[in-house]
Structure 1
């Protein structure tokens, strides 16, 4: 097991942290029932994995979290779904889920989650509300981080309560090579986030979270591209045929 920075810790096969306002969990690819190349805890219902295996994996994670997990069909955009009056619609990915890349809830009995396999799973916790955002480079450039933070700000019970954000496992600046289109999308961030053809999406996300008013930002410090292949799924490393892990947040 890799050593994790505070406040993260290993809980069995997965990464967790207790934070002001809630809990977060980042799954790994370990501990499920899926067969190669999706071995073993694939949580992505839109992969070519056996549907029954994905359902069993998601049920196991739901039991671990102890409440329904709301998710959406991610499209690399900035739409946000509020989990309030109709939590079931977003909680079941096989029942015509909404297209969205961020979810927010003020309910203590529902968790919100995003799927990832190189894109960044970003979780935002406020006073009485939590959000999950899926941030690939397109969503990050379009402002999904700002949308997630604003959704928590609108849903929390205290207008100016400090927020905390966590950035989960994703493609790191050590490995994420990009073309001109991506570099141009983040030109405003300057050379601090670039190293040759590599770009640091995690540094960009952290900067945007702070600019949006998040008081504290934590990074789990794991790159999906260069972490052990048996630990995390990576779409790029695995040639596009791989599973998905989850970033999950819920209120205390």
Structure 2
């Protein structure tokens, strides 16, 4: 499968390098989980075998060449909070203990990666010289301002110069049919983000990024719902019984 430049395949996963940092959007390939979670399920709060998830997270850490205890993650609640990670983790946290609630992670620390988990929601990387962030952008997060908060976090952490963004695999307008509640949430964007009963979350994200001052926006163009089921987990396609892929960003 060809990817739009500057995305490129990084082994089994989708990578991008931008001034100041890198991002990786994982696929479901290359792990040890089985059944509906096969194979690289990174979601600790799924019904997958915990030991398998931890082995998968070891493989992710090896793929990005960052210690697994230096990967910052929050407990996602479809909100707009972005945690500023200003001190490096000292030990790998107990996987049974939920981290602080946050739908984004931002850091200026070299050697620390920011991670969100998705299975149709959008992982959006924000990369600049001096700081990076990764945000989890479902419809509630987008409507609540998670993109703007991510940009604010990167600036507060000292990013200099322009911020670039990369939108990873997620629900495409081709498949994301929604009810009135969701369409009403994005009514201010007008017809630019609608196609009949479907909403274009990626178009919403692009517009929110532009409004927040991000001039360079890249999109993988990959839909997790109608894409190859061997490539991506999809909450909607799999009726909620599925694993989680990750979006990860770190300074280069």
Say yes or no: does 1:39 pair with 2:38.
Answer: yes
Contact 1:89–1:95 under 8 Å retained in 2: no
Shift of 1:86: 5.1
Identify the residue that residue 108 of structure 1 maps to in structure 2: 110
Instruction: Provide the rounded CA distance (Å) in 1 between the counterparts of 2:83 and 2:199.
Output: 29
Identify the residue that residue 165 of structure 1 maps to in structure 2: 165
Q: Secondary structure at the match of 1:126?
A: strand
Q: Which digits, 9 at most, give the CA deviation of each residue in 1:163-208, with x for residues without a partner?
A: 0001000001111000000000000111111111111000000110
Q: Which runs of 5+ in 2 are unaligned?
A: none
Say yes or no: does 1:237 pair with 2:231.
Answer: no
Contact 2:120–2:171 under 8 Å retained in 1: yes
Instruction: Provide the rounded CA distance (Å) in 1 between the counterparts of 2:236 and 2:170.
Output: 11
Say yes or no: does 1:138 pair with 2:140.
Answer: yes
**Change over 3 Å in CA distance of 1:213–1:89 after alignment to 2:** farther
Shift of 1:85: 2.1
Instruction: Provide the rounded CA distance (Å) in 2 between the counterparts of 1:52 and 1:126.
Output: 35
Q: Which digits, 9 at most, give the CA deviation of each residue in 1:106-136, with x for residues without a partner?
A: 0111000100000000010112000010011
Instruction: Provide the rounded CA distance (Å) in 2 between the counterparts of 1:83 and 1:122.
Output: 17
Instruction: Provide the rounded CA distance (Å) in 2 between the counterparts of 1:115 and 1:186.
Output: 23
Q: Secondary structure at the match of 1:223?
A: coil
Instruction: Provide the rounded CA distance (Å) in 1 between the counterparts of 2:136 and 2:89.
Output: 19
Identify the residue that residue 83 of structure 1 maps to in structure 2: 85
TM alignment of 1:62-81, pairs within 5 A: 62-67=61-66, 68-81=70-83
Contact 1:89–1:97 under 8 Å retained in 2: no
Identify the residue that residue 213 of structure 2 maps to in structure 1: 213
Contact 1:70–1:90 under 8 Å retained in 2: no
Shift of 1:96: 3.4
CA RMSD of aligned residues (A): 1.4
Q: Which runs of 5+ in 1 are unaligned?
A: none
Q: Which digits, 9 at most, give the CA deviation of each residue in 1:7-27, with x for residues without a partner?
A: 001121101111111011000
Identify the residue that residue 24 of structure 1 maps to in structure 2: 23
Identify the residue that residue 101 of structure 2 maps to in structure 1: 99
Hey, which bits of structure 1, 4+ residues long, moved more than 3 A? 88-96
Say yes or no: does 1:3 pair with 2:2.
Answer: yes
Contact 2:88–2:109 under 8 Å retained in 1: no
**Change over 3 Å in CA distance of 1:229–1:81 after alignment to 2:** same
**Change over 3 Å in CA distance of 1:70–1:92 after alignment to 2:** farther
With 81-90 and 144-153 compared, the bigger mean Cα shift is at 81-90
Instruction: Provide the rounded CA distance (Å) in 1 between the counterparts of 2:93 and 2:103.
Output: 14
Shift of 1:30: 0.3
